[in-house]
Structure 1
Amino acid sequence: MGSQPAAPTLPGTLAAEAREPSPGRPLRSRVGRAVVVALLVGFSIVFLYPFVWLVSASLKPRSDVFDNRLIPETVTFSNYVAVWQEAPMLLWLGNTLLVTVLAALAVTLSSAMVAWGFAYYRFRGRNLLFALVLGSMMLPGAVTMIPVFLIWNSLGQVDTLTPLWAANLFGSAFYIFLLRQFFLGLPRELFEAARIDGAGHWAMFWRIALPLCRPALVVTLLFEFQAAWTDLMRPLIYLRSSENFTIPRGLKALVDQFGTGGEFRWEIIVTASVITTVPMIILFFIGQRHFVAGIATGGTKG
């Protein structure tokens, strides 16, 4: 009997065989996943350790602050009572909250308006003007520090909270760039249709562009809120009176008084540091969904 010809191999069969995992592939996948998890856990510990140490030190008596135990041998909550007695923390928190809210809102709205202008309108010299705006980011803050101080001093605003937030009314080059990328990703036909329906320029910006770019606006708010909350340079330059201090300036005063000043009451300093750090952590957890969405969407914009 003659030999039977071999059955032809169908392309689908070849594809199925190619998709079959090799015996070593699951093992390599598990090892790779374990390495990634180990790296994530290791970096998380590195980043969390300073804050955990800070919280632990705030629960220790003065003699045990620097013993490097993460679990205090003697737990005391009296430091959280003493810090409110030794410093006007509530007043400083109120000043800081006022400055950060005004600064964040001012820079978000002003930057969004400028970014909308660069993204939507077509005019001669637009690219050159936008390049000049971006070029301002290359200018160190120390270069303009003295001229800006002289301006605020001539306006009689030194030792007030105004210089800490009012400059944000003129926008920020970084946020203008960020928001412009989002506005460029919006379909222009949407706004042309709105114009046909009778919408004005302000209505297109306020009712259409801003709601569609909400993740970018939240990112801008969070970035500026964090920057204003932790800013120390400008309060050091403009604030003189203790009743006008913000939290960073107040912490500097506590370090001068209880740290390097000779009293060495470091438990007061670390406790005040915990109180000022917790609001930023809470804010991030509240806005992390919008924050992650804004960063992810921003990475896909052209």
Structure 2
Amino acid sequence: MFDLKEIVKELAGIVGQEFVTIAPEMMQKYAIDGTAPKIVLFPGNTREVAEVVRVAYRQKLAVVPWGNGSKMSQGNRPERLDLVLGTSRMNHMRDVDTSNLTITVEAGVRFRDIQARLATEEDRCYLPLEDLTTEADDFVCSDRSNSGCFLPIDPCCSDMATIGGVIATSSAGPRRLLYTLPRDMIIGVKMVTPKGDIAGAGGKTVKNVSGYDTSKLMVGSMGSLGIICEMTFKLLPLPEKMETVLVSFDSFKGAADLADRILGTTLLPAAVTVLNAAAFQKLQNAACSGFRPGSFVVATAIE
């Protein structure tokens, strides 16, 4: 059995007294399936994460990384939970390189903030599609309505989720039909191993065939292989147009048949989803307020 006070003192020396707590209300806030931790702390960078994990390894503490908690219902209930390591202070976008369509972010950055930042980037220059014979020196920006970029991942709870949690759980929503899975977008990772060593793999090179692709190994690892601290992703320009086509059906069979027929064509929609009326009512916005759904709705996203 470890000495709680001594460990808290040692951890406070690493992350700062104000960023470590054993307050009962905080233990309940960060409980997982009714299992409460004994310590909650918030390191500010990868080095602090490594030092904390070294202490935990030496003291044989069970550690769980925590982004914003939106996916803590996934996975099995922890057998032990001694220390929750929150990543909320690790919320920096380290390198936003829209010219090369890459971004490097810390694990605690919220997914919605990444998309909001990328959507405002105006420094990319696009080739006008109407004239592909123009001399290279005469290229000008096209009249695109959207000149930003985006990270083509479609996680659930995207307004709440941190990017570290998205990658650790391999969270992917309906748009994976077009943009595939998180493992296909990640090209670099910096992590802390269970013994407290800092390890890295990949980088800003989109095509990297040297050695094992450890970056993809961390996708969906649920914190079992280490704590993800930084990630590098490849980006895509924002789509020129984004539309959703809704078709109403009175039976599930009719809706499922249409979805199956769409997937069997040469069309490449961003997403095809079959919703019942209750689910559609929850998800609809003002743009489709005039649509009257039947028992089922097929929603097809086109980009």
TM-score if structure 2 supplies the norm length? 0.19
Question: Higher relative CO (CA 8 A, sep ≥ 6), structure 1 or 2?
Answer: 1
**Bigger Rg, which one:** 1
The structure with more strand, counted as a fraction of residues: 2
TM-score if structure 1 supplies the norm length? 0.19
The structure with more helix, counted as a fraction of residues: 1
